[in-house]
Homo-oligomer: A and B are copies of this chain.
Amino acid sequence: MDYQVFDTTLRDGAQREGISFSVADKLAVARLLDEFGVGFIEGGWPGAMPKDTEFFRRARTELDLKHAQLVAFGATRKAGTDVAVDPQIAALLDSEAPVVCLVAKSDIRHVERALRTTGDENLAMVRDSVAHFRAHGRRVFVDCEHFFDGFRFDPDYTASVVRAALDAGAERVVMCDTNGGMLPSRITAAIEDLTARLGIEADRLGIHCQNDTSCAVANTIAAVEAGVRHFQCTANGYGERPGNADLFAVVSNLQLKLGLPVLPDGCLEKAVRVAHGIAEIANIAPDTHQAYVGAAAFAHKAGLHASAIKVDPVLYNHVDPAVVGNDMRILVTEMAGRASIELKAKELGVDLAGQPEALSRVTKRVKELEADGWSFEAADASFELLVRSELPGAEPVRPFALESYRVIVEHREDGAVVSEATVKVRVGEQRVIATAEGNGPVNALDEALRQSLSAHYPALATFELADYKVRILEGSHGTSAVTRVLVGTKAAVDDGWTTVGVHENVVEASWHALVDALTYGVDHAV
């Protein structure tokens, strides 16, 4: 029977302090999750959150999901209200998501004190809401909020909520450890108790764990071991408070330790890339020490292990790092390994298989740059330029040479804030000076650079700066911080490409990324 890998990065994960996804970010995360092969992507709460309403609207035309179905999250109807006229319910239908996941109160104390209604009305709310969506042809999951705490306090009531949801047509009823206080043995015991009380199989249930005891992953595994087949996770465990169960750890454990084929073939090895890609979009530094996907997850330090590892990696790695797209590091270094680089280059259309020296040069350059804070994970175009610059005959053409630039930002006495940039470049034989204004220093610089090149490269007129991300990276070993900039560029005939720049000065870092963006775009346009 199938497992349901249900991801809620975009709904529950977004509750994490510091995360603020734009609609474009949400679409990008959804694409990555779909690549990773999850079965369900809970996209948000349409109606309640304007950005989420917009996400579901745009998803209809902009998301082409291969593995996942989109899920709209919401709540059961309001107490004392007819489900047919409840606006929150209507908004879920309007989202046109094929699946809805409804949160229902399942702890009688919350029903009485937070919702201020009766246990019976709450059951009616569950039944009416589930039936309503079933009648409209939606698949329905029900999230039993505070399930375990409620079940401990009043097991009969909580079990009756589960029964009501199942009887009304919910495909699965999810036991949510909303306060996150559970331990694995207690999860197992609760599932055994509940299934016995209701006379149901555990596969009618789902599990959703928060990480307040630092056991979310283990709790999720325990539930699956008890027969549950639907589990809710978030990428990198993002979520409120100590977060949610980490998708990558849960899936890797289930697939590699328990031998359960929870993802489609070929998906697990994308774990590192997807984990880091989502972190980039969320603008959160990836956790170096994260299980399976962290840069240091398989990095063995010196001492008892290092020399022996080379002889017998199996003796020291609990799994082969390659199965999650990671690799083993002996020295304290960054991520780049020859195999990853060769694979990545191939993905971008550059075949290094028969060119070991070029591969070595590229690997060395990537390592050096990564030590300085560069990261090519989310910057394919910069990576391609780097690889090709090491391949005689395939080097990209540099469209210009920089002489100098100057950027000025002024906050004037009248309160106006203005940005102006001047670039002096050499294009072929010609020296060009261009000045432009912008809504910020980098925008002004970008405008000035394009202006200086537009006569020579008409294709530039079709390029559009689509995305701009900045991250400040802590300096290592006492050096000062550096800034990493990612620039996304789109063109009329191209979905877009991303480039990177790193420097202690944000303007200079942006310059690098902009130059790579224009170089790549011009190179691909001819």
In the assembly, how many copies of this chain are there?
2
**Contact in complex: B212, A318 (CB < 8 Å):** yes
Q: Kindly identify which residue among B20, B110, B474, B483 contacts A22, using a CB–CB cutoff of 8 Å.
A: B474
The answer to whether A15 touches B302, judged by C-beta atoms less than 8 angstroms apart, is yes
- A210's nearest neighbour on chain B, judged by CB, is B318
Q: CB distance B507 to A179 under 8 Å? A: no
Contact call B417/A503, Cβ cutoff below 8 A: yes
> Closest CB-CB distance, A92 to chain B, in whole Å?
16
Chain A interfacial residues counted at CB < 8 A: 111
Confirm or deny: A523 has a beta carbon within 8 angstroms of a beta carbon on chain B: no
Do B215 and A183 have beta carbons less than 8 Å apart?
no
Q: Which residues of B contact A212 (CB under 8 A)?
A: 291-292, 297, 318
Which residues on B sit within 8 Å (CB–CB) of A331?
Answer: 17
**B506–A442 CB distance below 8 A:** yes
Listed stretches A128-136, A238-246, A266-274, A390-398; interface member: A238-246
Q: A301-B17, A378-B17, A441-B507 are in contact. Are A468 and B472 (CB under 8 A)?
A: yes
Pick out which of these stretches binds chain B: A162-170, A309-317, A349-357. A309-317
Interface pair B442/A288, CB less than 8 Å apart: no
Known: A17-B331, A221-B183, A439-B505. A25 touches B474 (CB 8 A): yes
In the bound complex, how far is the Cα of B17 from the Cα of A382, in angstroms? 17
**Is the CB of A222 closer than 8 A to any CB of chain B?**
yes
Verify if A197 is at the interface (C-beta below 8 Å from B): no
Chain A residues proximal to chain B, CB less than 8 Å: 15-18, 20, 22-25, 48, 103, 107, 109-110, 113-114, 145-146, 179-181, 183-185, 211-215, 217-219, 221-222, 225, 240-243, 246, 249, 252-253, 257-258, 283, 288-292, 294, 296-304, 308, 311-312, 315-319, 331-332, 334, 375, 377-378, 402-413, 417, 419, 439-442, 467-474, 480-481, 483, 503-508, 511
* Sample of 16 further A-B pairs with CB below 8 A, known A113-B315, A242-B297, A441-B506: A17-B377, A107-B315, A109-B312, A114-B311, A114-B315, A145-B304, A184-B222, A213-B253, A214-B246, A215-B218, A241-B300, A404-B413, A417-B507, A439-B505, A467-B472, A470-B472
